[in-house]
Amino acid sequence: MTVPALEIINLNKNFGGLPATQNVSLSVLPGERRLIIGPNGAGKTTLFNQITGDFFPTSGTIKLFGQEVTRLKPHQRAHLGLSRTYQIITLFNKDTLQHNITLGLLGLQKARWNMLRPLATYGDMRTEAIRVLGLVNLDHLADRPVSDISYGEKRRVEIAMAMAQRPKVLLLDEPLAGLSSGERTNVKQLVAAIPRETTVVMIEHDMDTALDLAETVTLLHYGKVIVDGARDAVIADEKTREVYLGH
């Protein structure tokens, strides 16, 4: 039996008396492309924050490749192969693209504790950073500050930062948000090209684009899993039409 890349069992998160996720359970197989959908306030990003360790759940269990990580800190989960992007871009605007990627690479190295060593001295990491930028077709902008590039290019840099760590499980939190039609096409092609060695779980509101990338879909509503399964079956389900599609 294949061990799930990501397994969540009866996950609950309360903020005071307000439940944000309620008995959420799901299993994502290695290499799977999972889309998580739901209205605003459904608990999607809160779920991601629990998976990555930004929030600890009130109760429940989270496993990566069979290993329980429920109480591990974010950097410990990163060392086990978990990486993510954020709904709000979190890049260093005054730094170059290459420096941003190098910082992502440095995060998994013991050398990160050497605060006095300039980034420019990490020649091997600079080479790797430029290679990673090439994966998102931005290597020609490696020495440009992030503040000089477009919003769509920033989204691609964020994905590059997450991919630089060669993750086993990649969480993408609305990677298409705020993009023009052309930019959505670029990011969609980028996500589609991610190797199958990486399991991808994505939150996205742009259904027309995101469904092309997904094999399985989970619908959240008020923090609960309402429908979960193969893409076409979930989209055809009456509960999906009522809760998400509005008819």
- Determine the average pLDDT of the residues in 180-191: 88
Q: What is the pTM of this model?
A: 0.90
Lowest mean pLDDT among 114-128, 165-179, 223-237: 114-128
CA distance 204 to 137: 23
**Rounded to an integer, what distance in angstroms lies between the CA atom of residue 52 and that of residue 187?**
23
- Residue 113: what pLDDT? 43
Quote the DSSP letter at residue 245: I
CB 188 within 8 A of CB 199: no
* Amino acid 95: pLDDT: 92
Q: Are strands 199-203 and 169-173 parallel, antiparallel or unpaired?
A: parallel
Q: How many CB atoms lie within 10 A of CB 115?
A: 5
Token pair in block for residue 213? 């990338």
In this prediction, residue 1 has a pLDDT band, given cuts at 50, 70 and 90, of confident
Chain segment 20-51, per-residue pLDDT in tens: 999 999 999 999 999 999 888 899 999 999 99
Place of tokens 């990649």: 170
Average pLDDT (171-179) is 91
* pLDDT digit string, tens, across residues 87-123: 888 898 999 999 899 888 876 655 454 555 666 666 5
Which is more confidently placed, 243 or 80?
Answer: 80
CATH topology of domain 6-245: Rossmann fold (3.40.50)
